Chain A
Amino acid sequence: MAIAIEKATDARLPLHYRFTRYLRSHFIPAIGILGLIYLFLPIAVVFAFSFNDRLPNGRGSVSWVGFSTDAWTNICVDPNICRAVGTSLQIGVLATLAGTLLGTMIAFALVRHRFRGRQSTNLTIFLPMATPEVVMGSSLLALFLNTRIPLGIVTVLIAHIMFTISFVVVTVKARLAVLDPRLEQAAMDLYADERQTFRYITLPLVAPGIAAAALLAFSLSFDDFIITYFNKGPSITTFPVYVWASAARGVPPQVNVIGSLMFFGALAVVLLAQLAGKVKRR
């Protein structure tokens, strides 16, 4: 045979190649870990300070006083804090339901139908996301005052639904855009009428997008301070507004407890969802 396989004399690759390969495989994970620390350090601080003791005068402190589980065992020591959380939850749930429903329907219309003004609708949907919140909040206040709508939970809800819709539309649209239209055609070919096709094929396939949109809407609503502060009126207080107001005389550690609870609650939801997905796949 003219061609033979040559015996390797030195199987080791050149040193400079091995060095860059080592760097490639270790440098990037190192950077990644630093990035994660950057993201999670503030949350760790929130959690740590939920165990901070109060100052002798009973106020909260931004510097470490001493270890105490008092805040965890007496969350509602100030009834206003729990009332504020309740208000925020109520607004969050209602705004999420309405915003997700409306936003999902808009997303379907924009992806599935060709109509006049579709392009401009696509564009205007982005406007609430792009407008500075301060401007949005003050303008809404002007609108409510001029139309003599009394400020309160209703005005806050109107505002929250308005700005969550944009985020829902964008999230659901992204999911719909990658949905193969042939799946729906296949369902129709297999004797499913329009409603059954939607129920058994379209909805289950878009559901993860809708769920993500709802979570996003809820956290945006629960978090919102600026627009809420402008439009809430004197009768109600949401959790972010309570924190802002209490900051003047020292934030009580109970706020950190609620923040930690929110974080662990969200974490539990995500873990459960992933676990459920794994069990279902089996």
Chain B
Amino acid sequence: MASSSSSGKVEDLRLVNLVKDYSGVRAVDDISLTIPAGSFFALLGPSGCGKTTTLRIVAGLEDPTSGRVFIGEQDVTIKPPYQRPVNTVFQNYALFPHLTIHDNVAFGLKRRGEKDIETKVSDMLDLVELSDLARRKPAQLSGGQQQRVAVARALINQPDVLLLDEPLGALDLKLRRQMQIELKRIQVDVGTTFVHVTHDQEEAMTMADTVAVMNSGRIEQMGAPEEIYELPKTAFVANFLGQANLMEAEVVDRDGAQLVVQAYGNKWAVPTARAVQNEGQIIVGIRPEKLRIALGAASDTEATNSIVGTVTDASFVGVSTQYLVRTPWGQELIAFEQNLAGGDRIRVGDEVSLTWEKSHSFGLAGHENVDAGVMDLSGAIAEAVTESS
């Protein structure tokens, strides 16, 4: 690879107490974090959470209200974009329509008066497999090809940090999955720090080493994808990153390394280490794929918790079936079952039991809203109706 060889040492990106106000609205609320050199970092959150603003501050396209941006030891907070060792892959790519693909990719090198531009450009176009389209204009390329040009145009400058602003948002699902793998491969190849902004949790988890979940201008939780998926610390993270069943409960006892909780007449156990709070009201959470569904009642064993309920919906999605189960207290829980056995499936109306390993449950603070971060439309409508009545 051409790019990895000649660049010097890649630098950490450090944000210190970053704040951005837009006429009274706080878009970024005191963010401090260090993104280690060479990592693939995802800023994940719903639209309006401040993730794009954070990215634009790093690029220099937006001034922070207060706070600092460091790249290595260098404070770049007040530097214009063209003096930062940072390049951006814009949403919708922002390719220069009047320049050829070759000239688009060469643009940054030319401005810096680099040598060997031709070799570098053709190497880069080889990397993204666009060599035969070098003389075309952007409008003559497909969405996926334009996306690769945008990446090539930024990456050829060997930035310390590559910023990606929803780079796959305009692609269809199949192409998006393909490009996720492609981008990850390129990142591993060149070793540049990638900061990727997205609202697609699957995209964030597939690609990034570290995911930071953002909500209302703050980082709710940060860590490796498996880590925050398996052990979310807030209801927002539990719901936004995948799906979760969250049930209100009360801690009634402690049994060794486990909390014993009571909810609607059921007794369950939650590992103390997996609960953010050890007493009083808590929220017990369990991921849908951790639930085992079976006809009839089940008795708790040493290692499992269980709930009984009635199936209200069963949707077959190929590799798995997604069940909605109504509990005696009226909550609808969601369970994913792999379609291992071909034969009889559980049907709507069946009485079933849901069982899960005690060690899989997690505990959240009791005051939290169990619907925070839910992207379900019917939920949002129901919420709006309740609020207005």
Contact = CB atoms under 8 A, between A and B. Distances in A.
A6 interface: no
Given A180-B94, A182-B92, A205-B97, A190 B111 contact: yes
A182 B94 contact: yes
Contact of B153 (A185, A190, A200, A201): A190
B92 A201 contact: no
A12 interface: no
B70 interface: no
Contacts of B94: 180, 182-183, 185-186
A189 B96 contact: no
A191 B97 contact: no
Interface in B95-110: 95-98, 107-108
A205 B108 contact: no
A192 B82 contact: yes
A187 B88 CA distance: 10
B92 to A, nearest CB: 7
A7 interface: no
A204 interface: yes
A197 to B, nearest CB: 8
Contact of A189 (B81, B92, B137): B81
B61 A187 contact: no
A196 interface: yes
Contacts of A189: 59-61, 81-82, 86-88, 154
A147 to B, nearest CB: 46
Nearest to B84: A189
B108 A185 contact: no
Contacts of A180: 94
A183 B153 CA distance: 13
What range describes how many residues of B lie at the interface? 20 to 34
B141 to A, nearest CB: 14
A205 B94 CA distance: 13
Query: How would you classify the secondary structure of chain A's contact residues: helix, strand, loop or mixed?
Result: helix
B115 interface: no
Contacts of B86: 189
A24 B264 CA distance: 70
Interface in A152-207: 180, 182-183, 185-193, 196, 200-201, 204-205
Contacts of B80: 188, 193
Contacts of B88: 186, 189
A205 B95 CA distance: 12
A190 B96 CA distance: 12
A187 B90 contact: no
B198 interface: no
Contact of B96 (A186, A191, A193): A186
A200 B95 CA distance: 13
Contacts of A281: 137
A191 B112 contact: yes
A259 B22 CA distance: 58
Contacts of A192: 82, 107, 111
Interface of B: 59-61, 80-82, 86-88, 90, 92, 94-98, 107-108, 111-112, 137, 153-154, 157
- Closest 5 interchain pairs by CB? A190-B108, A191-B111, A186-B94, A182-B94, A188-B81
Given A185-B90, A189-B86, 18 more contacts: A182-B90, A182-B94, A185-B61, A185-B94, A186-B90, A186-B95, A186-B96, A187-B96, A188-B61, A188-B82, A189-B61, A189-B87, A190-B107, A190-B153, A190-B157, A192-B107, A200-B107, A281-B137
21 contacts: A183-B96, A185-B81, A186-B95, A186-B96, A187-B96, A188-B61, A188-B80, A188-B82, A189-B87, A189-B88, A189-B154, A190-B108, A190-B153, A190-B154, A191-B111, A191-B112, A192-B111, A193-B80, A193-B82, A205-B98, A281-B137
